Amino acid sequence: MKRFALFFALSALFLTSFNSCKNEEEDLFDQTSALRLEAAKKDYTALLTSASNGWVMEYFATEKYKGYTMLVKFNSDGSVKFAAKDDLTSNKYTEEEGSLWEMISDNGPVLTFNTSNSLLHRFSSPEDIPSTSKDDEQGLGYEGDYEFIMVSPTTNKDAVMLKGKKRGMYIPLTRLSEDQNWEDYFAKQEALKEKVFGESINPVLLALGDKNYEIHEINSGMAKYIPEGGDIITDAEERSVAFTSNGFRLIKPITENDHSVQNFVYDENNDIFTCTDDQEASIRGVAKFQFIWQQLTLSEKPKSLTFNASSEMSSKFSAVFQPIVESFKEIKYSVTSFAFIPNGTDLSLKLTVRTNKGGALSGNYYYTTKGNNDELNITYKDADATGNNLLKFNVEPFVKTTMSREFELAADKSNMNLETIKLVDKNDPELWVIATLK
């Protein structure tokens, strides 16, 4: 009898335990996946509409095309406003509102823009791209997305990561400050890009761990990077770039050993880009003299470092330069330019004047030359025959004294923009002129 009592007791305990486990399992899935999905959609909707002044969207269609930055404001009534200023809007600030957005379900929350908005849907429209005249993209267009998987959690209230549903490009949204005027945002973006990169052809230097990379053509939006000293044709890898008002983002990281970099912000005080992904990484300008010398000695289409009467110069420099202009004016000649050009391993300064009959006359002044990094040391040697004949037009003190000295090669706009160079007397900072590499 005791055995039966023990059996029934154990059986009851087993059944109780089984039911308990069953209840726990039911509690674990108390909310259905559909309910959890609806809750997530509400959370993302609340997050997107919480940005009272909207978001900065760094949009990448595919790896073939540069990135585009737009501003977007999600409204709780389901409407959305976009703004952009780029080459596709003819560099005019453009807004479009009245189109609709929605958070839908598709194996997770998906952000969709379900009525046409020209600023967003230009990237998914299958029309030919006019700027690529050699290619025919009819039926394809930029091949970009207009529906995005919500990737990041809603815990970060200032940043949202989207992922294109078809192409898989990662597209960040960053909360825009409430006091930022939209049109002014693009003005800041344009000013930063113009200051730091402009139309310059020089690379910039990425320090990544114990290795340096040259980044070329970043201002085009399609950056090419190579190991320092590498070959731009055979060694280059490409990254799309999207510029913001304070920096830029690469479409995907550049990686080297334990380092991975993708997002950069401009440090105006130090004139460098710091990396928000890796504090050890930075982007800065290359050595000025070496780059200038390389450009002056190109085998095809070599450049010169040029200045003229229209160039920006200090009053002290102008006091020596202007008498030359006036002297030639007296005989109805005009000064076209002074240009540094190579003369073997040295530099010569070429003076070109336009005659009263419309012709041109050039004289050359030769200097022994030493240069490295941000320094240029030139000492006058002699002149060619035409140069000697032109000395009497107040040229002699200029070429023999003013230009025969040690110069600092300083930044005009930025050390990363060598389109223009400021030549500053190392012993007298009040003597300077801005020359153009062209």
Burial of 76 (0-12, 13-18, 19+ CB in 10 A): exposed
Residue pair 324/398 in contact (Cβ under 8 Å)? The answer is yes
CA distance 184 to 241: 21
| Phi, psi dihedrals of residue 217, rounded to the nearest 5° | 60, 30
Give the 3-state secondary structure of residue 351.
Answer: strand
Angular region, 54: left φ>0, alpha ψ -120 to 50, beta rest: left
Give the model confidence (pLDDT) of 204-244 as tens digits: 999 998 899 999 999 999 999 999 989 999 999 999 999 99
Burial of 342 (0-12, 13-18, 19+ CB in 10 A): middle
Q: What is the pLDDT of residue 139?
A: 63
Q: What is the CA angle 107-110-114, rounded to 5?
A: 130
What Cα–Cα distance (Å) separates residue 269 from each residue in 191, 266, 273, 415?
A: 16, 9, 11, 12
Q: What is the pTM of this model?
A: 0.86
| Identity at 186, one-letter amino acid code | F
Q: What is the pLDDT of residue 15?
A: 37
| Phi, psi dihedrals of residue 169, rounded to the nearest 5° | -75, 135
Q: What is the pLDDT of residue 290?
A: 96
> Which 8-state DSSP code applies to residue 36?
H
How far, rounded to the nearest angstrom, does the alpha carbon of residue 133 sit from its chain's CA centroid? 24
CA distance 160 to 57: 10
Residue pair 138/126 in contact (Cβ under 8 Å)? The answer is yes
**Which of these, 92, 52, 85, 87, lies nearest to 70 by C-alpha position?**
85
Neighbours of 31 (CB within 10 A): 11
Residue 231 contacts by C-beta under 8 Å, 6 or more apart in sequence? none
Give the 3-state secondary structure of residue 5.
Answer: helix
Q: What is the pLDDT of residue 200?
A: 86
Q: What is the CA angle 33-39-43, rounded to 5?
A: 140
Identify the segments of the chain with pLDDT beneath 70: 1-30, 128, 131-139
What Cα–Cα distance (Å) separates residue 438 from each residue in 129, 199, 224, 307?
A: 31, 11, 22, 10
CA distance 11 to 402: 107
CA distance 294 to 313: 25
| Phi, psi dihedrals of residue 255, rounded to the nearest 5° | -120, 145
> Which 8-state DSSP code applies to residue 286?
P
